[in-house]
């Protein structure tokens, strides 16, 4: 029998608050941390930020003071969880070193989700986004090598390759072509709903991060690269959030959020090699079980519906951080030329010359250097070649093989 969070007993909500020193956790060591421990920390930070922001939005859409108080209560615990997770990231890591971790999450979490996604359209959406974040990893790795003299291989440790993906310059699409067809909570496998929530939260956190730290460098090209990629993360949030079933009620969405938090903490505590961090995942799971119970009660009251009907009988197979090099290469080798036309993914060469894609490209990429290209050109000029980490062999894409 698997684990069913609906049948477990969690920590009562009035016993979930912790003091400042408990929350001010000792950060991991950036040199010895397992790359996937870092990825789990970044992911759970994104999940907790989404929990908080979703709860705020919910509160802004109800006039019921009792409900607002209930939301405020659980939200305070979510905020504490966010601090305990996010404060694991050490101050010694530069923004760019942390960015490499963010893009590694975007590659390997999305790759796992795509391979385990039951809905073929959603799977295609994940593979589509995957190649774009894969390219971001390569652009930022070149920037970091140039500005800080640090190699991204010290962070990803060969688990994720670093080589061009769908070139960032080509990712800039008209906003209307980033909206996808939604999943259906009554027809789709619950795993699909959970996957979409997870990846939306991760991308949103990346978007927020670049929105705020992108102005920290003094070097204009670095500021430019952050702002250019931040705009793609906006596209990614639009892309993934439109997969969510917006027909769900606020209470249903709350239940799904809490269930997903249980699912991820349960998944990650099984894989976590660092015992101290594993304890945090275990503690937070016990808290989430209670959040889920409260959300289910709310759904029964407000919607007069049974939350069990929407949820699996037990948690699905654990979400896993693992190396996906072969899989990413296979997607790279077959989908590099895709773009989007409304909700469909099509080869860019099939677009009519007057498609809005080209008009948008002319606006943003016209007149002046494109930072994502400039960063590679400058690296080649300064060091004689670009920075890559091709672990299994040359790029599966012919035109990317001649390294600078
Ligand atoms: Fe949480
Ligand atoms: Fe990205
Ligand atoms: Fe992204
Ligand atoms: Fe929660």
CA of 348 to the centre of ligand 1 (A): 40
- Rounded average pLDDT over 391-395: 96
For the cut 80, the answer to whether the pLDDT of residue 1 exceeds it is: no
Q: How far is CA 286 from the centre of its chain?
A: 23
Q: How far apart are CA 176 and CA 360, in angstroms?
A: 11
Which tens digit of pLDDT belongs to each residue from 7-56?
999 999 999 999 999 999 999 999 999 999 999 999 999 999 999 999 99
Cα of 301 vs centre of ligand 1, distance in Å, is: 22
Ligand closest to 48 (CA) is: 1
Residues, Cβ < 5 Å to ion ligand 3:
106, 133, 203, 233, 236
CA 151–ligand 3 middle distance (angstroms): 21
Please tell me the chain's helix, strand, coil percentages from 3-state DSSP, rounded to the nearest 5.
65, 0, 35
Ligand nearest to the CA of 238: 3
Q: pLDDT tens, 62-115?
A: 999 999 999 999 999 999 999 999 999 999 999 999 999 999 999 999 999 999
Q: How much is the mean pLDDT over the chain? A: 97
Look up residue 397 and give its two tokens.
Answer: 């894409």
pLDDT in tens, 112-141: 999 999 999 999 999 999 999 999 999 999
Distance 337 CA to ligand 1 centre (A): 38
Q: For residue 60, what are its two tokens?
A: 């802004």
Q: Rounded to the nearest whole angstrom, what is the distance from the C-alpha of residue 284 to the centroid of ligand 1?
A: 7
Ligand 2 mean position, distance from CA 203 (Å): 8
CA of 365 to the centre of ligand 3 (A): 19
Q: What is the average pLDDT across 366-374?
A: 95
Cα separation of 403 and 126, whole Å?
Answer: 27
From ligand 4's centre to the CA of 292, what distance in Å? 7
Percent of the chain with pLDDT over 70: 99
Model confidence over 151-183: pLDDT tens digits? Answer: 999 999 999 999 999 999 999 999 999 999 999
End-to-end CA distance of the chain: 54
Nearest ligand, CA 136: 2
Q: How far is the CA of 128 from the centre of ligand 3 (A)?
A: 10
Give residue 237 CA to ligand 3 midpoint distance, Å.
8
pTM of the entire structure? Answer: 0.97
**Tokens describing residue 88:** 């694991």
pLDDT at 404 over 70: no
Q: Tokens at residue 369, please?
A: 């250097």
CA of 106 to the centre of ligand 2 (A): 6
pLDDT tens digits, residue range 272-284? Answer: 999 999 999 999 9
Task: State how far the Cα of 99 lies from the Cα of 216, in Å rounded to an integer.
Answer: 13
Which ligand has the nearest atom to the CA of 100? 2
Residues with CB under 5 A from ligand 1 (ion): 48, 51, 78, 81, 261
Confidence label for 403 from pLDDT (cuts 50, 70 and 90): low
* Secondary structure element (H or E) that encloses residue 341, with its range: strand 338-341
Give distance in angstroms: CA of 70 to centre of ligand 2.
Answer: 35
Residue 106: the pLDDT is 98
Ligand 1 centroid, distance to 363 Cα (angstroms): 41
User: What phi-psi label fits residue 370: left (phi over 0), alpha (psi between -120 and 50 degrees) or beta?
Assistant: beta
pLDDT at 242: 98
Q: Which ligand is nearest to the CA of 239?
A: 3
* pLDDT tier, 368 (very low <50, low <70, confident <90, very high otherwise): confident
d(CA 199, ligand 2 centre) in Å: 12
Distance 133 CA to ligand 2 centre (A): 4
- Domain boundaries along the sequence of the chain: 5-400
């Amino acid at each position: 029998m698997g684990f069913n969070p609906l049948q477990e007993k969690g920590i009562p909500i009035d016993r979930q608050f912790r003091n400042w020193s408990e929350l001010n956790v000792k950060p991991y060591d950036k040199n010895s941390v397992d790359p996937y421990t870092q990825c789990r920390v970044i992911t759970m930070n994104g999940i907790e930020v989404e929990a908080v922001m979703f709860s705020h939005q919910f509160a802004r859409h109800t006039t019921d003071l009792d409900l607002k108080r209930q939301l405020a209560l659980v939200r305070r615990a979510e905020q504490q969880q966010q601090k305990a997770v996010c404060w694991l990231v050490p101050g010694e890591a530069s923004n760019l070193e942390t960015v490499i971790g963010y893009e590694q999450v975007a590659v390997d979490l999305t790759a796992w989700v795509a391979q385990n996604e039951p809905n073929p359209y959603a799977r295609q959406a994940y593979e589509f986004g995957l190649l774009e974040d894969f390219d971001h990893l390569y652009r930022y790795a070149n920037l970091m090598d140039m500005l800080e003299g640090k190699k991204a291989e010290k962070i990803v440790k060969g688990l994720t390759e670093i080589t061009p993906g769908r070139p960032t310059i080509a990712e800039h699409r008209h906003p209307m072509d980033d909206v996808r067809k939604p999943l259906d909570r009554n027809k789709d496998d619950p795993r699909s709903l959970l996957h979409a929530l997870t990846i939306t939260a991760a991308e949103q956190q990346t978007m927020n991060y670049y929105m705020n730290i992108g102005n920290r460098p003094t070097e204009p090209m670095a500021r430019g690269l952050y702002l250019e990629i931040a705009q793609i993360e906006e596209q990614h949030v639009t892309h993934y959030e439109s997969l969510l079933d917006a027909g769900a009620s606020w209470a249903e969405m709350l239940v799904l959020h809490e269930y997903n938090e249980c699912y991820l903490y349960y998944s990650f505590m099984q894989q976590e090699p660092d015992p101290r961090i594993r304890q945090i995942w275990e503690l937070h799971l016990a808290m989430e079980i209670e959040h889920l119970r409260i959300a289910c009660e709310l759904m029964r009251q407000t919607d007069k519906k049974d939350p069990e009907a929407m949820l699996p009988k037990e948690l699905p197979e654990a979400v896993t951080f693992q190396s996906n090099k072969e899989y990413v290469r296979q997607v790279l080798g077959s989908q590099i030329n895709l773009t989007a036309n409304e909700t469909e993914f099509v080869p860019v060469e099939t677009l009519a010359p007057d498609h809005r894609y080209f008009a948008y490209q002319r606006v943003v990429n016209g007149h002046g250097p494109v930072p994502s290209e400039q960063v590679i050109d400058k690296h080649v000029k300064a060091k004689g070649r670009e920075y890559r980490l091709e672990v299994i062999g040359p790029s599966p894409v012919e035109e990317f093989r001649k390294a600078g």
